Amino acid sequence: MRYSLIFTLLLLCIIGFGSVPLNTIDSLKNELTITEGEAKVELLIQISEAYRNLHSSYCIDYGISAIDESKLLQNKELEAKALKSLGISTYYSGKFDDALLYYQNSLELYSKLDDKKQMAACYNNIGIVYEELAEFDMALEFYKKSFEYEKQLDNKKGIGISLISLGNIFYYQNTYHLAIDNYFQALLIFQKINNKWGIAYVYNSIGIIYRLWNDLDNSVMYFEKSKLIYEEIEDEVGLSKVLCNLGELYSDEPKDYKNALKYFNQSISIKKKLEDKIGIALLYNNFGTLYAKMENYEKALSYFNDSYLLYSEMKSITGLVMVEQNIGKLYFQFEDYNTAAEKFTNSLKMATKAKMDNYISSNYKELMSCYALTLDTESFKKYYNLYNSKNDSIINHLRLSRLYDIESKYVIEQLLITSNKLSEENQLKEQEIRQLRLIMAGLGGLIILIIFSYVLFLKIRK
């Protein structure tokens, strides 16, 4: 099952995703009729973004108008801004090819303007699209470029986001110790700058890693921490992601299907309201998995097919790898082993091309089971050997040890930071006490001087 790593939330650090009341949009449109020049372009961008999670076609139309107007004005800065904004909108609409084009054109303009802050944002956003397309090497290249610019700018929030992005790639490449190391580094940064959005994001990501390592208690703890913060800051997008992850967790180990269904329904209601096509596709898959476990196979297949259609429209390889495998599992339960093997093979081909090790290994295991039951000895041996080579228990144990070592390093660093803060506070208190003592000594001396002067005065009077 593919956990929601929230790539889309990374975009929120650049531009908001909240709901905009229709009367606000009407007000902006009225203002548009009496506005010209650069102000008109800014208004077109605002209206486009206001429609982003209300009406995708209006959103894109206004975004294109903003680009056209900025070109007429020959204002490269506004054109770059409009292009980047439309890149975000088309990404959320699942039009990844269009999103890439808009981001690349925006990056080209910002490069000419030498706007490093916006260049870093564009590099990050391009990486997000490549990540969704399962082109992880390309995603990694763009994330690293973004990271370098953020470090040059000493942009703490940007550095944290880049660390998360790099962590996500390591997650997909099944190098979880590298993923969680990046997440903890990001967490330290977000805690230092008191960025609650970033803290919630990282908690959710860490929860996913612990879930994959079957550490249920830590996974729930981090998911709940993330959920509380998202509720506090009223971030519906983030909340929908962590609700989805909690649903997946409860549908697996505890087999608490009632709670799983509750979390999935809460999540999808938010995703539909926000027109989050990527999130809806993932939830359809999750509903399919849940209903399969509840032995409602007809409903499960219907949800899987809906998910497959959405991922196909978006050309999302990571999504298709997951859904193909899950449909294969369903046909396996139907005892249609040939169709199941066909689905697992399709998933395996895409996973191999995308270097998604976790899915490569699990597809080997599924194909091994199919060929064992169809008495295809040669194919069984092939996938048995491939699966064993990928699933060395000693290697997995070492990976888990690394995971805990990384968390220990983070905890120690947190204690050092706390200790340093306490030391600084104690030093300030000691300094304040010394100053107070000096003041008191001065006051005491002054009082003695006054008393002495008064006594001397009385003696003189006598």
pLDDT at 444 over 70: no
8 Å CB contact between 367 and 348 = yes
Helices (H) and strands (E) in the chain, counts: 21, 0
**pLDDT given for residue 56 in this prediction:** 86
Model's pTM, two decimal places? 0.76
Average pLDDT over residues 86-103: 94
Domain topology for 316-386: 1.25.40
pLDDT at 274 (0 to 100): 85
Q: What is the pLDDT of residue 126?
A: 97
pLDDT at residue 5 tops 60: no
Same fold flag, 1-153 and 316-386: yes
pLDDT above 50 for 13: no
Opening angle at CA 173, ends 378 and 100, nearest 5: 115
Determine the Cα angle at 94 with ends 58 and 331, to 5°: 135
Residue 408 has pLDDT above 60, yes or no: no
Q: What is the rounded CA–CA span in Å between residue 407 and residue 315?
A: 36
Residues 93 and 78 sit within 8 Å (Cβ to Cβ): no
Domain ranges of the chain: 1-153, 316-386
**How much is the pLDDT for 7?**
43
pLDDT of residue 250: 93
Give the model confidence (pLDDT) of 304-333 as tens digits.
999 999 999 998 999 999 999 999 999 999
CA distance 64 to 74: 15
Taking 70 as the threshold, does the pLDDT of residue 400 lie above it?
no
Tell me phi and psi for residue 61, to 5 degrees: -60, -45
pLDDT digits (tens, 9 = 90+) for 152-179: 999 999 999 999 999 999 998 888 889 9
- Residue tagged 């996938």 (tokens): 383
Report the mean per-residue pLDDT for the chain.
86
Confidence band for 445, pLDDT divided at 50, 70 and 90: low
Give the model's pLDDT for residue 364. 94
DSSP letters for 355-386: T-HHHHHHHHHHHHHHHHHTT-HHHHHHHHHH
Q: What is the largest CA-CA distance in the chain?
A: 127
CA distance 366 to 387: 9
| H helix runs in 93-135, sequence order | 96-113, 116-132
For position 423, what pLDDT does the model report? 56
- The SS3 call for residue 228 is helix
- How far apart are the C-alpha atoms of 109 and 319, rounded to whole Å? 32
Q: How far apart are CA 158 and CA 324, in angstroms?
A: 35
Asked if pLDDT for residue 227 goes beyond 50, the answer is yes
Would you say residue 11 has pLDDT above 50?
no
Burial grade of 21 (CB within 10 A; 0-12, 13-18, 19 or more): exposed
User: Which amino acid, 274?
Assistant: L
Q: Which two tokens stand for residue 156?
A: 């703490």
- Do 130 and 348 form a contact (C-beta atoms < 8 A)? no
CA atoms within 13 Å, Cβ hemisphere of 141: 7
Q: Which CATH architecture has domain 1-153?
A: Alpha Horseshoe (1.25)
